[in-house]
Amino acid sequence: MGDRPKALLSWSSGKDSAWSLHVLQTQTDMEVVGLMTTVNEVYSRVAMHAVRMELLEAQAKAVGLPLWKIPIPYPCSNVEYEAAMLTVLERAKAEGIYTIAFGDLFLEEIRRYREERLRESGISPFFPIWAMPTMKLAREMIGAGLRARVTCVDPKQLPGAFAGREFDPQFLADLPSNVDPCGERGEFHTFAYDGPMFRHPVPVKLGEIIERDGFVFADLVPQRLPNK
Confidence (pTM): 0.95
- Each domain of the chain, given as residue ranges in start order, spans 6-222
8 A C-beta contact, residue 185 and residue 107:
yes
Give Cβ neighbours of residue 113 (< 8 Å, ≥ 6 apart). Answer: none
pLDDT tier, 206 (very low <50, low <70, confident <90, very high otherwise): very high
CA dist 36 and 161 (Å) reads 30
C-alpha angle 40-91-30 in degrees, rounded to nearest 5: 95
Q: Which contacts qualify for 91-94: CB closer than 8 Å, 24 or more apart? A: 92/8, 92/123, 93/121, 93/122, 93/123
CA 30, chain centre distance (Å): 19
pLDDT tier, 227 (very low <50, low <70, confident <90, very high otherwise): low
CA dist 213 and 208 (Å) reads 16
Is residue 1 pLDDT above 60, yes or no?
no
Q: Which CATH superfamily is domain 6-222 in?
A: HUPs (3.40.50.620)
Query: What pLDDT, in 10s, does the model give residues 166-204?
Result: 999 999 999 999 999 999 999 999 999 999 999 999 999
